[in-house]
């Protein structure tokens, strides 16, 4: 018996894809919107986040950090054009609407010093790590001499 690996949400979405129900055209299931795909990593003294938000403009995106949690939101409204009224779509997969992603950051960061940029559908966020408690207190080691 061959084992087929379970690929999480992708497999579940495929089960409910419209193509899986060709003989039942009335069987249109509502799909959950995709959350932006992200990379979170540490580099030197910073935590870096890259988020894919294709098709969005910078004024449609917001990002905030609070209590070690990063929240990325985007809202892209669908514009109805006059010529769209006469179209009968067979498939409409280009996403519109609201996306949101919440991520716990792996280390303490200086939230007030976060910086972000957006170019070519990629949101880049850089946040300096918070200094460790030992560095903040500047504990000095006391040398013990032999008598």
Residue 11 placed within a domain: no
The CA distance from 90 to 92, in Å, is: 7
Residue 144 placed within a domain: no
Q: Which CATH number does the domain housing residue 57 bear?
A: 2.60.40.790
User: What pLDDT, in 10s, does the model give residues 79-96?
Assistant: 666 556 777 878 777 767
Which range of residues forms the domain containing residue 57? Answer: 33-78+96-130
Nearest to 56 by CA among 103, 118, 116: 118
Number of domains in the chain: 1
Q: What is the pLDDT, as a whole number, of residue 87? A: 78
Task: Give Cβ neighbours of residue 13 (< 8 Å, ≥ 6 apart).
Answer: 31
Residue 138 placed within a domain: no
Q: What is the pLDDT, as a whole number, of residue 98? A: 85
Give the Cα-Cα-Cα angle 117, 121, 122 (nearest 5 degrees). Answer: 50
Mean pLDDT of 61-77: 90
């Amino acid at each position: 018996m061959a084992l087929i690996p379970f690929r999480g949400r992708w497999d579940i979405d495929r089960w409910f894809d419209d193509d899986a129900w060709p003989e039942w055209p009335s069987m249109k299931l509502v799909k959950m919107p995709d959350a932006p795909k992200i990379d979170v990593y540490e580099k030197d003294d910073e935590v870096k986040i890259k988020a894919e938000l294709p098709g969005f403009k910078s004024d449609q995106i917001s990002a905030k950090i609070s209590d070690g949690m990063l929240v990325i939101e985007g809202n892209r409204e669908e514009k109805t054009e006059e010529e769209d009224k006469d179209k009968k779509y067979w498939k409409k997969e280009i996403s519109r609407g609201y996306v949101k992603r919440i991520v716990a950051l792996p280390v303490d960061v200086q939230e007030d010093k976060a910086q972000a940029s957006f170019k070519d559908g990629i949101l880049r966020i850089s946040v300096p790590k918070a200094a460790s408690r030992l560095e903040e207190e500047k504990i000095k080691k006391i040398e013990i001499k032999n008598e």
